[in-house]
Structure formats: structure tokens, C-alpha cells
Amino acid sequence: MALALDLSGRTALVTGSTQGIGRAIAATLAAAGARVAINGRRPEVVDSVIAELDGDLIAAPGDVTTAEGTAAVLDAVGQVDILVNNLGIFGATPALEITDEEWQRYFDVNVLSAVRLIRATLPGMTAAGWGRVLTIASDSAVVIPAEMIHYGTTKTALLAVTRGFAKEAAGTGVTVNSVIAGPTHTGGVEDFVYQLVDRSLPWDEAQREFMRLHRPQSLLQRLIEPEEIAQMVAYLASPLASATTGGALRVDGGYVDAILP
């Protein structure tokens, strides 16, 4: 039996898809036949990404951390069949130095933006009898990093958000899942690595030093490439994953030292 990830006729919205994991997810979904909305705050950047990628792509610029921006994005996309909540911020800050304002900013960007978009798109999916809601979480949701507990806490919240909305969508043909991404090689992560190791080190050495000192649990013993995350997302977005819902699926390189999830 041949297995194919065919998303023809489906429209996907990937938030924060002008770079990194989001861009890889958008490219992979488009390659599977989906019509994909590229999202970012700056229209010119969105347009440049669309010019660089192949497939049926549309521009959906807007700041989804605000109600107004979210409405503009959804107006540009129309009916959403596949929602990928990828947008997120992270950074290293000593635990006792994280201010109230920073805690609130992380919650607004990493959690509330996803909740707002799920709330807006889930009714249309359930009415149609088909849909996919996917949220990019992190190994930090399970193994809270001492250097960024505010980030880890928001990713833990996203696991709860996923499970709760999966119950809301029970029996409708809509699946709701999160993807626990491990340490991944993106431009933003390169900056983060150099916050924690010697900036004079060449990248290959810096990456190895980071994994040795700060992520020694990784069984992969390297950073994950964005395309590896995107392949899991494409599978979960496809009809092949019709019986997988309410889950937290790991693409973490074996970083989380647990049998489940």
C-alpha cells in the first residue's frame, strides 16, 4: 500500500512562517499540495518569502499577537483547514530577573496568540467535518530550562491548550495535536547558542559545546534541522493521521528522558 501526504484542496495557515521552523513547515505543506498562507508582521518580508518558495502560496501579513492583526490575517486567508501555531519567542534570562512585563509578553505571544487563532478557526473546521490544528511546542515544555523558565512555562501551557481543544473537537473529524520540537538549528537558535557559549568559537564547535553543556540528554547529539520538524507536521496535517488527536508528539532527538508522551 502506497502512502502519500496529499493535502490538495486544503488551505493551511502557518504563523511566523517567514523564517526557521515556520518557513520549513510552509514549504513542506505546499510541496504536499496545500494552499499555504505565509504569515509575518512585515508585508515586504512575507512577499519576499513567497517569491523564494514554490507552490500555491498567499500573503497573510499581520501581528497575530493582537486581535486586530489576527482578524486581518484571517480575512486574507479565508477558510482555514490546517492551522499551524508556530509563532513563538524565546531567550535566556536568569529566573529572578524575569519581570512581570516579560512574563506577560511571553504569555501573549506564545500562548494567547494560539488560543485566539484556534478559537477563530475551529468552528469552521468542525462545521466542515475536517480540520487539523497543530501547535509547535518544545522539549522545554517538559524539561523546563533553568535559563528560560518563562519560555518553558508557556510551552507547557500549550500542551494543556492542545489537549483541551482536542476535547472540544471530539467526534467532529477535526484533530488537535502539538509537536514537541527538540533543539533545532535556526538563525534564532544560533543567536541563543552564542548567548551561552564562547562567541569566538566557529559554529560547528559552538553547537557541539552547547549540546554537551546545556542539552546533554539529547540522543541525537546534534541540533535538529527545521525540515525534520516540518515532516512530522505534514504527516499530522494529512489524512494519514486521522486517528491521532489530543497528543503531544515528539521530534526532539530523544532529548526528553521519558517513555511518554
**CA-wise closest residue to 117 among 154, 89, 85, 86:** 85
The catalytic residue among 106, 151, 235, 255 is 151
| Cα 30 to the center of its chain, rounded Å | 16
106 as an active site residue: the answer is no
Buried residues in 2-22 as b, exposed as e (16+ CB within 10 A)? eeebebeebbbbbbbbbebbb
Instruction: Please give the order of strands across the beta sheet that includes 131-138.
Output: 57-59, 35-38, 11-14, 82-85, 131-138, 174-181, 248-251
**CA-wise closest residue to 161 among 111, 203, 207:** 111
CB 224 within 8 A of CB 184: yes
**CA-wise closest residue to 210 among 198, 225, 193:** 193
Q: Give every CB contact of residue 149 below 8 A, 6+ residues apart in sequence.
A: 95, 98
Q: Give every CB contact of residue 201 below 8 A, 6+ residues apart in sequence.
A: 209
Residues tagged active-site: 151
